[in-house]
Structure 1
């Protein structure tokens, strides 16, 4: 699904980051990046039609890729699954060098016209974590796992942005509490699926849920936020 970033976009991203803390992911920061990277405006616009927004998206996607690489090099032996998820979330935060850059990105993707893009990025992070940890679900669970972790990860980032504790100790504790919520939800789902929570009354719902399938591995067009041309 992931393709190598355009070299021009990568160069512009490196150039814009020092400006983001002061100017945000703004047109001004984008223009400064063009000048610093010594790239023609035409080439910059061709690589980034939406300017700094495209670079903010690339910044987030590179963070996901760095998290996946760090997770692949982690020793997860003996860890409970909930601890693996918590470890992945911590790795995702640890790959961020500048908290202010993320804060500015959070502000950017809170804008109404960019909120769907921001939700898609958070979903992508949740998907990267579940996939890296070996999730093999191919039904409605594929969606619910990612939806739940997306909500949890979003709240963790907001908490982390305001955390002033030494070594982000308060964020660590918050991560543990929220991941416990994810695992509790998964346990409830399993109980419902086995008719252990609400009994046979859930059977019709279970049959309906069984009709939902995960996106095909051959295409990402079924992912939330992806437009499928009906033609």
Structure 2
């Protein structure tokens, strides 16, 4: 049995335990038992136990979102609506109590970096799937902004009791629209001779920043250009 198969079985079994016990040692052990996985094999596939299982659950949600992006016909959509749809599909890929328990886990100081990295990864996957080709500092600002939108929308969704989460999708619309307003202001600033002159120095510095370009162990690149 491969690690992927072990994790898939564990995640399926975890749905009966995490809503009650959280992403805990108890839930991890019970999931392994229900899935028929030997404890040693479970730990080999998920060395940090419940934390790695929670991250695997987030990863599975990202994959489900990407599958839907690929399956849907988005050709006639405005780009803004494509982003909104991707974020909505990503949220819909999760079960509310599983996500709630994950939010609690990754709010802990010792796991906060893992949670932030997972959200950043989701934002990166969305931008990449939608065809983002930026290679400069915009690569970072787009993902940072979308990470904030996604994270705040998830928190809103966790407390939303409206029919079919209608209030959440209205909240998402407002957040994305706010982001697009910022992009419009940036475009106007670039067209302004006065502002462009004032920003020439900072922009020259930012011009050296480059996207990771496939690197996995570094946050980005700095060029002499």
Distance in 2 between the 1:51 and 1:117 partners? 14
Cα distance in 2, alignment partners of residues 182 and 69 from structure 1: 25
Where 1:149 maps in the other structure, the secondary structure is helix
2:106·2:114 contact (CA, 8 Å) conserved in 1? yes
Alpha-carbon distance in 2 for matches of 1:223, 1:61: 20
Alignment of 1:44-123 (within 5 A): 44-96=42-94, 98-123=95-120
Residues in 2 aligned to 1:26 and 1:197: alpha-carbon distance in whole angstroms: 56
Aligned-partner SS, 2:84: helix
Moved more, 36-45 or 137-146: 36-45
Q: Return the offset for 1:210.
A: 0.6
CA offsets 1:184-205 (integer angstroms, 9 cap, x no match): 2222333344445723010011
Query: How do 1:199-210 and structure 2 match up within 5 A?
Result: 199-210=196-207
Match of residue 176, structure 1, among 170, 173, 184: 173
Other structure's SS at 1:198 match: helix
Secondary structure of the structure 2 residue equivalent to 1:122: helix
Moved over 6 A (4+): none
Structure 1: gaps of 5 or more residues: 225-231
Q: Would you say how many aligned residue pairs link Structure 1 and Structure 2?
A: 219
8 A contact 1:193–1:206 mirrored in 2 = no
For residue 223 of structure 2, what is the aligned residue in structure 1?
none
Q: Quick check: which one's helix share is greater?
A: 2
Normalising by the residue count of structure 1, what TM-score does the alignment of the two structures yield?
A: 0.90
1:101-158 deviation line (CA, Å, top 9, x unaligned): 0000000000001001100011011111111100000010000000000011100000
Report Cα offsets for 1:47-86 as digits up to 9, x if no partner: 1111011010000011011101101111212221111100
Q: Which runs of 5+ in 2 are unaligned?
A: 221-225
